[in-house]
Amino acid sequence: MLIVIVVVLAVCSALMFYLWRVCREDGLALNAIASIKTSSTMASEETWLYIHRKYRAVFCAAGIILVIMCMALVAYVVVTGDISGRHGNLWWIMLLVGCMALLATVIPVGIVADRDAARYNREHGYARCNDR
């Protein structure tokens, strides 16, 4: 069980670092898979690129949090020898704390990014995605 969780966390972390790199270099193209998706950020391609370039650090922060979660679980397995996760609740607590840290990072940034996108749209004359 723990091995599956470690692999999933590692893949998610790699995805976050990939998104960070794409946002930093080319800009993340408008998509429906992975991004900061709100009606304000999706109002135009220009708004989308502006927001994802400005808030790209959230992807890096999420990747770092996921790496720390992954390393904490690996350390748990190495120290306790409990590869199945059956001998204690410490690994659940580590996952819970990591998830709380991830949410405490991503949700506020999403709210701020949405407000910033709404301001950017007003300044540049774009309607929100739902207003079209």
Rounded (5°) CA angle 7-9-63 = 135
Q: What is the pLDDT of residue 67?
A: 96
> Do the beta carbons of residue 33 and residue 119 sit within 8 Å?
no
Running DSSP on this structure, what letter comes out for residue 85? S
**Sequence-separated (6 or more) residues with CB below 8 Å from residue 54:** 113, 116
Q: Taking the model in full, what pTM does it have? A: 0.85
Residue identified by tokens 């972390």 is 13
> Do the beta carbons of residue 34 and residue 58 sit within 8 Å?
no
Tell me: the pLDDT tens digits for 42-95?
899 999 999 999 999 999 999 999 999 999 989 988 888 887 777 778 888 888
Provide the token pair at 39: 């009606």
